[in-house]
Amino acid sequence: MTEKKIPLLDVRNLSVEFKVQDGMVKAVNGLSFKVYDGEIIGIVGESGSGKSQTMLALMGLLASNGKISGSVKFMGQELVGISTSKLNKIRGDKMAMIFQDPMTSLNPYLKISSQMTEVLMLHKNMSYKDALAESIKMLERVKIPEASNRIHLYPHEFSGGMRQRVMIAMSLLTKPKLLIADEPTTALDVTVQAQILELLKELRKEFGMTIIFITHDMGVVANLCDRVNVMYGGWLMETASINTIFNNSVHPYTQALLATIPSLDTHVEKLKTIPGEPPNLLQLPTGCPFQPRCSQANHLCSESIPLRRVEPRHVVKCVNAQGVVL
Amino acid sequence: MKKILSVKDLKVHFHLGRSWFKSARVVHAVDGVSFDVFEGETLGIVGESGCGKSSLARALCGLNKITSGSALFNETIELATANKAQWNDVHKQVQFIFQDPVAALDPRMTVAEIIAEPLITLYPQMTSSQVMAKVLATMKLVGLSQNQINRYPQEFSGGQCQRIGIARALILEPKVLICDESVSALDVSIKAQIINLLQDLQQQLKLTIIFISHDLGVIKHICKRILVMYLGNIMELGDKQSVYENALHPYTKALLSAVPVANPELEKAKQIQLLEGDLPSPINPPKGCVFNTRCPQATNECRATRPQTKMVANNLVSCVQIH
């Protein structure tokens, strides 16, 4: 993919802050990245790194005390500051989201049929009958057996993996351009996770979707994604293709993160650790949030740190990186 | 080697209430498992949710009742029929570390009170200065600093809370530590710290660890022998090498292939053996082999006869098709 193509999603200098009793929580801090058509992009980071808040900000789903600044362009249209009614036409239609816990994101009082048909009746002006037929087709597509009977069940009558399939089917009903998946397999067992990952790959081929996949599991990233954004303390530390991230990462945090994972394919006597703990978002250090734990930190780390392009589409935010300042 | 725990045909069943429309139902959480745990080793128990690994672990330290079968601790105490005095003895030697480090600690107690509680309960004759000395020594052992002693759990991060949980378990100087998903709720960078701590403590204190997890990477890193469970039954049991490299049981193979590895080249190259469907309900487990509904190699024999565990190559396997 070349740089000249217009990205599907163009995020520039996005920041998200929350006003709480003890001050301002800086959840996301000056984030910039692009997502091109047809890519699967992974966003990894530990809890509190801002990965979920970034996506909630894109979807206009921030909590009421959240403040967003910067620019998010989706298919050329600015999403920051847009009215809710305009946003409602985009989300659910061209942009859809799958959440981590399918039990809490489906309405337990409504049958799957009414939850699914609602989407089509609202966004596509379909009649109930057509919407139901379309919904059943989509449930079959995500491999739910006996879909025409099961659509009339309530969410609690499905298992965890099946519920997540229902969520995926629901988000695909309008054939969105962009699917945002926030840890959709974290609550599932590995054998079910493998089924869902395979399904997402098939669906991407079939519908030509672009997927943003949020996870903390580097194994899932290696399995599914084309590119990765590594986040820490609200910063985007490094973004590159998966081969670059896994084999030639530049940022000390990315390197340290990969070294701490006990893996099936290698054996080490003792795991490497990152000393200390993730930062308190209320009291972030000035400059790089990783510097108190970084083995390569120096006096420059507490100043403002530019984004550098190490090579095309490999961008790093670290004073020690070599490359063109963006 | 000495068998610290010898489990034979152990069953843990839970009775669900009878209602107007339904007859009494029984959850077969653990349905006849047999294995030994040797002194000083780390035994990993893996399996998906609902396979009975937690029910088994909880039964071994008295948190669940054993329905039938036998579990002999330290060649002397039979856990299935132990009385209160015997259980007190077991609690001094078998301790448990829970999954959610924050939920496991009482928010109204200080760190010192939390860590001292088991000692005060099981050794009432100890003086308070002896207890305090022991609390401080244990905190040092797990890497907590002494000036944190009067703080409350909510002032700590998840990783620190897990250290408190470990200190609480270790203050009794147990022989056996049962870790039920003890690192699953922690972030990657913290997970590695706690895993290393557990390994150091094991060497230092000559602990036997039963480590339960669904994370096969973590299990591989710290365990010597691995027990694979599915729907209350043992599928395969063997040394780490033979289970990971020469898995025999179709379920073990499928489970291992489903784990994504943090290496894009290997991920692209590998053939995943996808299992169809979900785990059946432990209320009505399938007849014959419990895995037959999802097994790619299931035959009529599998649907009819429940397999016996047998020794094949270096592993204990329960599958009728493996000889």
Q: What is the ipTM of this complex?
A: 0.83
**Is residue B157 over pLDDT 90?**
no
A49 neighbourhood in chain B, CB within 8 Å:
none
The mean of the pLDDT values for chain B is 91
Burial class from Cβ neighbours inside 10 Å (0-12, 13-18, 19+) for residue B184 reads middle
Please give the pLDDT value at position B185: 83
Helix (H) or strand (E) holding B54, with range, is: helix B53-60
pLDDT tens digits, one per residue of A103-139: 788 999 999 999 999 999 999 999 999 999 999 999 9
In the DSSP assignment, the letter for residue A144 is -
- Range of B308's domain? 245-323
| Cβ atoms of residues B10 and B66 within 8 Å | yes
Cα separation, A224 vs A227, whole angstroms: 9
Task: Output the six-digit token pair for B168.
Answer: 């609480």
Contact B260 A46 (CB under 8 A): no
pLDDT tens digits, one per residue of A198-237: 989 988 888 889 999 999 899 999 999 999 999 999 999 9
pLDDT tens digits, one per residue of B10-37: 999 998 877 777 777 899 999 999 999 9
Among B residues 203-242, those touching chain A with beta carbons less than 8 Å apart:
214-218, 220-222
Q: Pick the residue from chain A with its C-alpha nearest to B270.
A: A223
Q: Which of B200, B201, B192, B224 is nearest to B211 (CA)?
A: B224
Contact B188 A262 (CB under 8 A): no
If one counts the domains in chain B, the total is: 1
Cα separation, B67 vs B59, whole angstroms: 9
* Percent of chain A topping pLDDT 90: 52
B256 within a domain of the structure (yes/no): yes
Q: Where are the alpha helices (DSSP H) in chain A?
A: 51-58, 84-90, 102-105, 112-123, 128-141, 147-150, 160-172, 190-207, 218-224, 242-248, 252-259
**Is residue A314 over pLDDT 70?**
yes
Cβ of residue B155 closer than 8 Å to a chain A Cβ: no
Contact B188 A263 (CB under 8 A): no
Please give the pLDDT value at position A150: 92
B35 within a domain of the structure (yes/no): no
User: Closest approach of chain A CAs to the CA of B64, in angstroms?
Assistant: 24
Query: Would you kindly state where each structural domain of chain A is located, as residue ranges?
Result: 9-94+174-325, 104-173
Mean pLDDT of B67-84: 94
Q: How confident is the model at residue A2 (pLDDT cuts 50, 70, 90)?
A: very low
Among B residues 42-61, those touching chain A with beta carbons less than 8 Å apart:
48-49
**Is residue A1 over pLDDT 60?**
no
User: Closest approach of chain A CAs to the CA of B274, in angstroms?
Assistant: 6
| Cβ atoms of residues A139 and A150 within 8 Å | yes
CB-CB: which of A162, A219, A242 is closest to B261?
Answer: A219
B197 neighbourhood in chain A, CB within 8 Å:
none
User: Closest approach of chain B CAs to the CA of A227, in angstroms?
Assistant: 11
Among A residues 20-49, those touching chain B with beta carbons less than 8 Å apart:
46-47
**Is residue B193 over pLDDT 60?**
yes
The lowest-confidence range among A24-28, B121-125, B151-155, B272-276 is B272-276
B297 within a domain of the structure (yes/no): yes
Contact A263 B48 (CB under 8 A): no
Contact A216 B244 (CB under 8 A): no
User: Closest approach of chain B CAs to the CA of A2, in angstroms?
Assistant: 22
Please give the pLDDT value at position B164: 95
In a 13 Å sphere around the CA of B175, the CA atoms on its Cβ side amount to 16
CB atoms within 10 A of CB A157: 12
Helix (H) or strand (E) holding B186, with range, is: none
Please give the pLDDT value at position A46: 87
Contact B192 A192 (CB under 8 A): no
| Cβ atoms of residues B116 and B139 within 8 Å | no
Task: Output the six-digit token pair for B317.
Answer: 């396997």
* Percent of chain A topping pLDDT 70: 99
Contact B261 A222 (CB under 8 A): yes
Cβ of residue B255 closer than 8 Å to a chain A Cβ: yes
Cα separation, A257 vs A252, whole angstroms: 8
| CA torsion through residues A187, B241, B272, B265, sign | positive
CA dihedral B231, B212, A162, A226 (to 10 degrees): -140
Contact A190 B217 (CB under 8 A): no
Mean pLDDT of B247-255: 93
pLDDT tens digits, one per residue of B95-111: 999 988 888 999 999 99
Q: Pick the residue from chain A with its C-alpha nearest to B200.
A: A270
User: Closest approach of chain B CAs to the CA of A246, in angstroms?
Assistant: 7
DSSP calls for A15-74: EEEEEETTEEEEEEEEEEEEE-TT-EEEEE--TTSSHHHHHHHHTT---TTEEEEEEEEE
User: Closest approach of chain B CAs to the CA of A219, in angstroms?
Assistant: 4
Using DSSP, how many helices (H) and how many strands (E) does chain A show? 11, 13
Between these two residues, B129 and B184, which has the higher pLDDT value? B129
B260 neighbourhood in chain A, CB within 8 Å:
193-194, 197, 217, 219-220, 222-223
B157 neighbourhood in chain A, CB within 8 Å:
277-278
B196 neighbourhood in chain A, CB within 8 Å:
270-271, 273
User: Closest approach of chain A CAs to the CA of B293, in angstroms?
Assistant: 14
Among B residues 125-154, those touching chain A with beta carbons less than 8 Å apart:
none
| Cβ atoms of residues B228 and B51 within 8 Å | no
**Is residue A4 over pLDDT 70?**
no
User: Closest approach of chain A CAs to the CA of B56, in angstroms?
Assistant: 19
Cβ of residue A65 closer than 8 Å to a chain B Cβ: no
* Percent of chain B topping pLDDT 90: 72
A278 neighbourhood in chain B, CB within 8 Å:
157, 187, 189-190
Contact B214 A194 (CB under 8 A): no
A293 neighbourhood in chain B, CB within 8 Å:
189
| Cβ atoms of residues B53 and B42 within 8 Å | no
CA dihedral B81, B83, B84, B85 (to 10 degrees): -120
Burial class from Cβ neighbours inside 10 Å (0-12, 13-18, 19+) for residue B1 reads exposed
The mean of the pLDDT values for chain A is 90
pLDDT tens digits, one per residue of B269-313: 888 888 887 788 888 899 999 999 999 999 999 999 999 889 988
CB-CB: which of B48, B159, B267 is closest to A222?
Answer: B267
Q: Pick the residue from chain B with its C-alpha nearest to A228.
A: B264
CATH number of the structural domain A9-94+174-325: 3.40.50.300
